[in-house]
């Protein structure tokens, strides 16, 4: 039968007391370890915070803080020796680059060709430059244009100089001789970081570096883009203005008015049609313009 007596307690009173005491000591040990761990974590965080703060203060220059100053205009560019034109000068031409890779272009007769050295960005070469340059040399005149950009870091003058050095190396590798005009393509606001003053400094240094390397220089842009990138800076070099899809008549009208850079353009570009029926940039030499320093006679 089942006993109704109270179940016996396990262990003696002294044993129960000893067990309870053991449990209290274990809890205190855990608390001490947790407190010690928290203290070490806090100390490590404090050391890391101090180290980061010191790096920021002591090494600010190495973090590439932007230099946001620059000239009010784009001037003082050295003049490079240009190949002179003799006799009649063409009043029209085209420009080509990587978008025209693989297209068959008809000879222009007495027209000229301006070829893009880059593939849309300064660090992307035009894969068809060699073939397109040879095509340009078969026409009445030839010139080159290069893309421009600024990542907004470091000294803008050094950035512009670096861009020029890269262009000079690429021009030499492609066999483009000094004396050949080189145009800076300034038209993509999304690849320019920092202030408009900084952009003016980059462009000035880029132009100066190319001119010192023996290449006459000019700037290609459009009024709205030029204002956004540079604040509407005036320039001391020839300008080549793009007007989008337009007729020759509108291009002629553009020649007569002041455009970007506070000067009348030397060349006006419009989007027309090529011999294959596809869109092609067509250029008009503005009346009274001497192509010397703008396009090299081939």
pLDDT at 39 over 90: no
pLDDT, position 16: 32
Report pLDDT for 52: 34
Which pLDDT value is given to residue 36?
A: 55
Length of the chain (residues):
298
Give the residue, 180 or 43, on which the prediction is more confident. 180
- Give the contacts of 256 (CB within 8 A, at least 6 positions apart): 264
pLDDT, tens digit, for every residue of 127-180?
999 999 999 999 999 999 999 999 999 999 999 999 999 999 999 999 999 999
| Tens digit of each residue's pLDDT (9 = 90 or more) over 180-204 | 999 999 999 999 999 999 999 999 9
Residue 271: which of 142, 120, 94 has the closest Cα?
Answer: 94
Q: Which residue has the higher pLDDT, 143 or 106?
A: 143
Residue 140 CA to residue 132 CA, distance in Å, equals 14
pLDDT the model gives residue 91 = 95
Better-scored residue on pLDDT, 95 or 48: 95
Select the highest-mean-pLDDT range: 62-66, 68-72, 99-103, 226-230: 226-230
Rounded CA-CA distance 105/246 in Å is 21
CATH architecture of 92-297: Alpha-Beta Barrel (3.20)
Q: What is each CA distance from 293 to 17, 109, 217, 277, in whole angstroms?
A: 104, 21, 7, 31
Instruction: State the Cα–Cα distance between residues 86 and 292, nearest whole angstrom.
Output: 9
Other Cβ atoms within 10 Å of 41 Cβ, number: 10
Taking only the tens place, the pLDDT of each residue in 235-293 is: 999 999 999 999 999 999 999 999 999 999 999 999 998 878 889 999 999 999 999 99
């Amino acid at each position: 039968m089942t006993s109704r007596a109270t179940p016996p307690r396990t262990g003696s009173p002294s044993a129960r007391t000893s067990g309870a005491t053991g449990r209290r000591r274990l809890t205190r040990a855990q608390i001490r370890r947790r407190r010690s761990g928290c203290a070490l974590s806090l100390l490590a965080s404090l050391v890391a915070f101090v180290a980061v703060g010191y790096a920021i203060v002591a090494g600010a220059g190495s973090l590439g803080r932007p230099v946001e100053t620059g000239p009010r205009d784009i001037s003082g560019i050295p003049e490079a020796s240009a190949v002179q034109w003799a006799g009649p000068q063409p009043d029209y031409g085209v420009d080509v680059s990587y978008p025209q890779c693989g297209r068959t272009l008809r000879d222009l007769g007495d027209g000229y060709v301006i070829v893009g050295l880059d593939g849309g960005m300064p660090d992307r070469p035009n894969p068809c430059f060699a073939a397109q340059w040879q095509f340009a040399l078969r026409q009445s005149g030839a010139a080159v244009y290069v893309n421009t950009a600024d990542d907004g870091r470091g000294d803008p003058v050094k950035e512009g100089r670096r861009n020029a050095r890269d262009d000079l190396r690429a021009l030499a590798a492609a066999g483009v001789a000094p004396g050949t005009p080189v145009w800076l393509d300034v038209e993509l606001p999304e690849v320019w970081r920092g202030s408009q003053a900084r952009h003016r400094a980059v462009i000035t240094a880029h132009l100066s570096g190319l001119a010192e390397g023996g290449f006459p220089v000019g700037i290609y842009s459009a009024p709205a883009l030029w204002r956004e990138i540079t604040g509407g800076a005036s320039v001391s070099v020839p300008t080549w203005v793009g007007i989008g899809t337009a007729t020759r008549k509108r291009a002629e009208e553009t020649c007569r008015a002041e455009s970007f850079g506070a000067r009348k353009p030397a060349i006006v570009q419009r989007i027309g049609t090529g011999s294959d029926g596809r869109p092609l940039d067509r250029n008009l030499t503005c009346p009274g313009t001497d192509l010397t320093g703008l396009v090299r006679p081939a």
